[in-house]
Amino acid sequence: MPRKLPMYKAISEAIAQEMERDENVFVMGEDIGAYGGIFGATSGLLEKFGPERVKDTPISESAFIGAALGAASKGMRPIVELMFVDFFGVAMDQIYNHIAKAHYMSGGQVKMPVVIMTAMGGGYSDAAQHSQCLYGLFAHVPGLKIVIPSNSYDAKGLMISAIRDDNPVMYFFHKGLMGLGWMPSPPEAAVEVPEEPYTVPIGEAKIVREGDDVTIVAVAKMVYEALWAAEELEKEGISAEVIDLRTLVPLDRKAILDSVKKTGRLVVVDEDYRSYGMSGEVIATVVENGVSLEVPPVRIAYPDVPVPYSRVLERYVLPDKEKIINAVKTII
């Protein structure tokens, strides 16, 4: 029976069900056991499965993320959590030179069914080293699938898909969508979630609002900013279509193209840095496919500055509903 679940519970439920189904699935990371994950994504797992399959690690990311590779090479299906995406620098080599490339370099001999799960996003004054999104950085490297759920239904389905996938999948959750109570979260992110296991296919975007005048493409928390903007715009007679990409790699280019062909206008909303990232990729997709827009596309992205600490500074640079509304109005 479906019930409303916050995202953090949907994720831990997905992991628990896969651990029950497949004994090769196990979890490693910092504070994922006794604490249940700083953002709750592994809550209850230690009690259910014990410390052999739910391993609290030392602060040795190169070692435990690299270990995921070794375990996967022997048929295990490890899930590793690294608390904040900002922390990945310390273990980057194991991810982008090894986990991402092992299948290709080995000519397909080695499979890498690894899930790397991490928290992203700002908006609560955690400053430059705890608020980034950085999915663009990982999406840039061939060999890593990138999923970013925006609600609890997708969170559970994408986690199950990620665990069952034979490739490395980076699973990003936005802290501000987890429904933790202590971290502001839009209530819309906690939706009905079936109790039984199910999958949401990796690589499929979702049109979360249909419209005719403009396409707004977003992921994670920006999906809600886009939806709230669309509601306001409708009052002024502007019909916006909102696409939740849900997956960055592989990117559902068809969904973007179909929508833009219909609307002829494009706004991309991105909480990650503006340059060389998701927003540019979406726009390039449209341009390369020869879809002619009525006006040049617009990106509402994080300007190319580190995340500032002070609330007033962070609010100024963080994309939001108002910035989206203003952008749409400039092109209509």
Partner 1 sequence: MAKLEEIPKETLLEIYKRMHKIRTYEETLAEWYYKEKSPRFDISAGPIPGELHLSSGQESAAVGVCMHLKPEDALIGTHRAHHFAIAKGVDLKKMTAEIFGKATGLSGGKGGHMHLFDAKYNFSCSGIVGASFPQAVGVGIAAKLKGEDYVAVAVGGDGAANQGTFHEALNLAAIWKLPVIFVIEDNSWAISVPKEKSTAVSKNSERAAAYGIPGVSVDGMDVIAVYEVAKEAIERARRGEGPSLIEIKVYRLRGHFEGDPQHYRPKEDLELAKQKDPLLNFEKMLLEKGIVTEEELNKIKEENIKEVQEAIDFAVNSPYPEPEEALKGVFAGGE
Partner 2 sequence: MEVEVKVPRISQEDKTGVINQWYKHDGDHVEEGEEIAEIMIEKITETIRAPASGRLKILVPENEEIAQGQVIALIEV
Q: Please identify every residue annotated as catalytic.
A: 130
Partner whose binding site includes residue 8, from partner 2, partner 1, none (CB under 5 to 8 Å by kind): partner 2
What does the alpha-carbon distance between residue 239 and residue 246 come to, in Å, rounded to a whole number? Answer: 22
Which letter, b or e, does each residue of 143-162 get, where b requires 16 or more Cβ atoms within 10 Å of its Cβ? bbbbbbbbbbbbbbbbbbbb
Site string for partner 2, 41-70 (x = CB under 8 A): --x---------------------------
Partner whose binding site includes residue 40, from partner 2, partner 1, none (CB under 5 to 8 Å by kind): partner 2
- Of the candidates 84, 87, 77, the one whose C-alpha atom is nearest the C-alpha of residue 25 is 77
For partner 1 (CB under 8 A), the number of binding residues is 44
Which of 13-21, 55-63, 245-253, 282-290 is the region at the interface with partner 1 (rule: CB under 8 A)?
A: 55-63
Among 70, 181, 184, 306, binds partner 2 (CB under 8 A): 181
- Of the candidates 75, 61, 58, the one whose C-alpha atom is nearest the C-alpha of residue 114 is 75
- Sheet containing strand 247-249, edge to edge, reads 54-56, 25-29, 77-84, 115-120, 169-174, 145-147, 247-249
Amino acid at 62: S
For 203, counting Cβ atoms within 10 Å of its Cβ (0-12 exposed, 13-18 middle, 19+ buried), the class is middle
Cα 285 to chain center, whole Å? 20
For position 124 contacting partner 1 by CB under 8 A, the verdict is yes
Is 9 or 145 the residue whose CB approaches partner 2 more closely? 9
What does the alpha-carbon distance between residue 238 and residue 332 come to, in Å, rounded to a whole number? Answer: 8
The values of phi and psi at residue 54, to 5°, are -130, 90
Which of 37-45, 155-163, 217-225, 315-323 is the region at the interface with partner 2 (rule: CB under 8 A)?
A: 37-45
Radius of gyration, CA atoms only, the chain: 19
Is 36 or 157 the residue whose CB approaches partner 1 more closely? 36
Among 52, 107, 182, 312, binds partner 2 (CB under 8 A): 182
- For β-strands 145-147 and 247-249, DSSP reports them as antiparallel
Which of 25-33, 149-157, 263-271, 284-292 is the region at the interface with partner 1 (rule: CB under 8 A)?
A: 25-33
For position 1 contacting partner 2 by CB under 8 A, the verdict is no
The 10 Å Cβ neighbour count of residue 180 is: 16
Among 34, 105, 284, 295, binds partner 1 (CB under 8 A): 34
The 10 Å Cβ neighbour count of residue 228 is: 18
Amino acid at 78: P
- Token pair 């007033």 is found at 312
* Residue 22 Cβ vs partner 2, minimum distance, rounded to whole Å: 25
Is 40 or 143 the residue whose CB approaches partner 2 more closely? 40
For partner 2 (CB under 8 A), the number of binding residues is 10
For position 3 contacting partner 2 by CB under 8 A, the verdict is yes
Partner whose binding site includes residue 313, from partner 1, partner 2, none (CB under 5 to 8 Å by kind): partner 1
For position 97 contacting partner 1 by CB under 8 A, the verdict is no
Q: Residues interacting with partner 2, by CB under 8 A?
A: 3, 6, 8-9, 38, 40, 43, 180-182
Q: Contact positions toward partner 1, by CB under 8 A?
A: 30-31, 33-35, 38, 56-63, 86-87, 89-90, 123-130, 181-184, 303-306, 308-317
